[in-house]
Structure 1
């Protein structure tokens, strides 16, 4: 009865054996006092238990000692996890106050206490003490409880950090991928450039070997010519000596009294004169044979003989005159108070498609005076068509390789074509054949352009040079050197003597046609420049490159005005409408992109060809747009 009462009394006291409580208190109850003073509740006095070091001396009965041992055993189990000596705890009371994680039973007690489940707590403590006294609880049953919330929080924090790291790594990976792609493109470009340089080196070595062999083949001829020259000089000296001796003898005969009658007249022949002299010596001289290498006329000319007063007449040659470049201060007729038509690109639609060639159409050009269109192709043929009906008028063959470009003479009677066989031919429509072939370039000719006066034509080539030709004489008047790569396009600034060229070395240059000197060089493109175009007024210039970048330039300040990106495909050709207000860009993706020149805004994209667009041009009225492409056709848009 007393044990159960004490157990219940102990159970009603909140358990203070957790790690948060520094000391433990037990309430001493005297049963006799309850019996004697039941009526007076205020008479009960509760004395504070002695400190922990005096706890051993309190001993009322055997039952108190048993409860004390049980409590000490429980404390040792809770704080130390196993049975230890009570004296060690008394000697080192601070060691039991170290903070430790909660064990299973403490966790359950705290949970039941916080939820105010005291009956469940009593039942749990009774059963737990019984099992503990019986020794049925193992060390694993009395183990520690993990802090689940803390672990969850730590896991959530680590998860958020890992998410941030993943995002950072993704961004770094994307930047690395972009850098890799850029480096790969640059590597491919430099590799291609290196291959081209190696090929050019091999070609130059081959040319040097061929020239060396060619010069070696000339050595015997030079020796033979030197021997002939020496022999001719000896013959000349002998003839001169013979002439002097004959002149001396004639003067001696005149001095002997024969008189001037013995001197033959101009109409007499040398044989008659020798016979009338009556002497043997002149006859022997007249019968003396001449050297077979030198002709009689040559001997007479060398000796200055008076046998013939008139030399043989030479065939007359037509005199070719060299053309002169006009004055530089000419006025552009389109720059002063002239209203030029503007193209209406927003309403343009395709009229028809003409199957022009058997291979890609490389360039197109309008006739300067008539509605005629010229096309050139990789099939080595040029053709002229009626426009806009597209009926074939004329075609020409003669080049040994593809034709890259063409240009009409300002008067419209001739056509110049530039070919991959290293030549530029000028075709006469009246005669129906090529009247002039310009063949000083050592590699393929990319482009050609007539001067506005028609006396000169300019060409550019893969051999890194450009040339200015006199159409009248067929001679090269100037060679423009300065580019470090293939010169892709050439032209004249309208109504000036200034040439412009663009090259694979990413530069655009302006040249003085009279001196052959480079006036300006514009830098800014990051890849090979394919084409350059000026407006008719000459106040605006644009260029395009293989990256699809179009740049507008200020020639006076030698600076870039603006850059447009029409990539990623290559931009092959440019064309301004007559007013210079619309710029059409022929792209390698089969489309033509239209831009407003003033605002630099894209107006529209037109799918013009099934393959890459290689040529593009507006007509003089600005009403039509013609494109030619690698699909072997040219298409007319209105």
Structure 2
């Protein structure tokens, strides 16, 4: 085997490659092999050979100076010699001898070269026994192959990392292109928006100038409109007086005596007695008698059902007006009692005009009459098929009108608690109802953008008020008059003549849906609240706004004055009751409701205040 290594280098190279490949697989080889104990002896220091340094270039210079230089050169040469000797003695690197024969055996076993293995083992051990081959002369297994494998693994890892980095770079490139496209799109969109904004600004400026040119004309027309309204009101008053005079003359003529028929004929009126004395044949007499009988049969019926709006109404302080408080206005209300009356939210609370009785309506389809201050339930009315929205007492206090989401208005007899009349005609839910001061008419407002006036005697709708463009949320009669006030979701208030059904005036100023509007007890101020919490006061005589109070953003659900007209209470969607002092302008807050407050009302003497909320309870403040 040594002869083969001396004659050819290629087998040695193949063997070295096999050594590099087999280092990692030596332990995995299958089969059995044998090992012999070998004693490794250390080499003696006497066996080391040293090289002699030739002194061909050594020369001794002449002179003292040359002698010093020569001494220095000799010392330098001695130093160099010692350094070379130290380098020769020092070992290069501690190495661990490898059992080369074990590696070869493992490699041949792994490759399945059993015959070569047998030949190798027989020849190898034979040489060892003869002492021809020494283990120290074989040398160590070179580690270049191990380094090669490590570098190859590192190269593979770097290639995998390169592949991942390329994929990440491709994804980043795609994301960059996508972001650039989105940037270009948003940039173009921004430019377009800027152009549209500039165009709208220019249009707005033009419209503003155009509006400014019309503003003087509108002011002149508005003044003419107010002048015509005043003239119309004066004309209507004169007309009512003339109608009253004519009705008085007709009554006088009917009551004139037979001897005075001649005088009545002079003024152009012929009494019925003179007409009856005119000559007529039997057929005409029979026809006239039959007509009179039929007229007499229906006269009583017609008189009981048909109602006329009163022309002049003198207010009765004992019936319609509450006694004004001479005491200072009260603002320091504290929660006193909680009445649990309904299973669902309370929508309305009203006070009896003459007694200490409170009526509450709820979304549980019933209304309840409660005695104060105990809170004992006196009556319960059920008949509506949907939630109740509002209720109102008859001026005498013996009847109650209720409105509901079932599109009906019902009248109730408070002595028995029974429903005595139902008005049907609205197409959608009815939000509010109110009695006329004479007690013969009930007005209602609905989600169908209309309001209706119902005749209690004829049991029919006398008039439908058209004009609002959205839900009519509130309606109220001005005390002892034929004037109606409505508040609508179209952000306006309207004043109507109930006799003609025409809108006399509209009040604009709210920016949101108007939820409620009411008169002061004296009637010269109107209060209204909208769905953004803004409360406005209006001068009813001049039909102009007075002041605006913002207590939002929670909606204002209802407003009511106390009997003195100085304190205005607002029920807020935040559960807070706001009390506005109309004299000083201060706002006081009553906090007790956990949820939304829907309604609020003062007692007759102003010492107590009642509020209803979404929990189905009525709170008494005193």
In the superposition, the TM-score normalised over structure 2's length comes to 0.50
Structure 1 Cα separation of the partners of residues 594 and 618 of structure 2? 11
Within 5 Å, give how 1:537-548 maps onto structure 2: 537-548=522-533
Partner of residue 393, structure 1? 378
Partner of residue 401, structure 2? 416
Deviation at 1:332, TM superposition (A): 7.5
Deviation at 1:571, TM superposition (A): 0.6
> Contact conserved, 2:358 with 2:370, CA < 8 A, in 1?
yes
Within 5 Å, give how 1:304-315 maps onto structure 2: none
In structure 2, stretches of 5+ residues that fail to align are 1-196, 198-285
Residues 1:411 and 1:329: Cα distance change in structure 2 (over 3 Å): closer
Residues 1:626 and 1:339: Cα distance change in structure 2 (over 3 Å): closer
Deviation at 1:549, TM superposition (A): 0.3
Structure 2 Cα separation of the partners of residues 409 and 336 of structure 1? 14
Partner of residue 595, structure 1? 580
Structure 2 Cα separation of the partners of residues 516 and 469 of structure 1? 12
User: Deviation string for 1:577-602 (max 9, x for gaps)?
Assistant: 10011111110001101111123221
Residues 1:513 and 1:342: Cα distance change in structure 2 (over 3 Å): farther
> Contact conserved, 2:329 with 2:566, CA < 8 A, in 1?
no
Partner of residue 568, structure 2? 583
Partner of residue 600, structure 2? 616
The answer to whether residue 468 in structure 2 is matched with residue 483 in structure 1 is yes
Partner of residue 435, structure 2? 450
Deviation at 1:552, TM superposition (A): 0.7
Within 5 Å, give how 1:513-524 maps onto structure 2: 513-524=498-509
Deviation at 1:337, TM superposition (A): 12
User: Deviation string for 1:299-334 (max 9, x for gaps)?
Assistant: xxxxxxx9xxx9xx9997771331121124645749
Residues 1:332 and 1:550: Cα distance change in structure 2 (over 3 Å): farther
Deviation at 1:341, TM superposition (A): 4.9
Partner of residue 367, structure 2? 382
The answer to whether residue 455 in structure 2 is matched with residue 470 in structure 1 is yes
The answer to whether residue 616 in structure 2 is matched with residue 628 in structure 1 is no
Residues 1:332 and 1:413: Cα distance change in structure 2 (over 3 Å): closer
Residues 1:620 and 1:343: Cα distance change in structure 2 (over 3 Å): farther
In the superposition, the TM-score normalised over structure 1's length comes to 0.49
> Contact conserved, 2:483 with 2:495, CA < 8 A, in 1?
yes
User: Deviation string for 1:441-469 (max 9, x for gaps)?
Assistant: 11100000001111111100001010111
User: Deviation string for 1:269-313 (max 9, x for gaps)?
Assistant: xxxxxxxxxxxxxxxxxxxxxxxxxxxxxxxxxxxxx9xxx9xx9
Aligned partner of residue 536 in structure 1, secondary structure:
coil
Structure 2 Cα separation of the partners of residues 368 and 329 of structure 1? 19
Partner of residue 303, structure 1? none
> Contact conserved, 1:342 with 1:581, CA < 8 A, in 2?
no
Partner of residue 90, structure 2? none
Partner of residue 246, structure 2? none
> Contact conserved, 1:362 with 1:378, CA < 8 A, in 2?
yes
Aligned partner of residue 331 in structure 2, secondary structure:
helix
Structure 2 Cα separation of the partners of residues 345 and 494 of structure 1? 25
> Contact conserved, 1:342 with 1:577, CA < 8 A, in 2?
no
Partner of residue 34, structure 1? none
Deviation at 1:352, TM superposition (A): 0.6
| Partner residue of 2:589 out of 605, 614, 617 | 605
Partner of residue 541, structure 2? 556
Partner of residue 572, structure 1? 557
> Contact conserved, 1:342 with 1:579, CA < 8 A, in 2?
no
Please give the root-mean-square deviation of Cα atoms over the aligned residues, in Å.
2.7
Residues 1:424 and 1:339: Cα distance change in structure 2 (over 3 Å): closer
Structure 2 Cα separation of the partners of residues 497 and 365 of structure 1? 22
Number of positions where the alignment pairs a residue of Structure 1 with one of Structure 2: 330
> Contact conserved, 1:492 with 1:499, CA < 8 A, in 2?
yes
User: Deviation string for 1:526-557 (max 9, x for gaps)?
Assistant: 00000001111102111000010000112232
> Contact conserved, 2:305 with 2:456, CA < 8 A, in 1?
no
After superposing on structure 2, the runs of 4+ consecutive aligned residues of structure 1 that deviate more than 6 Å are 313-318, 334-338
Residues 1:596 and 1:457: Cα distance change in structure 2 (over 3 Å): same
Partner of residue 3, structure 1? none
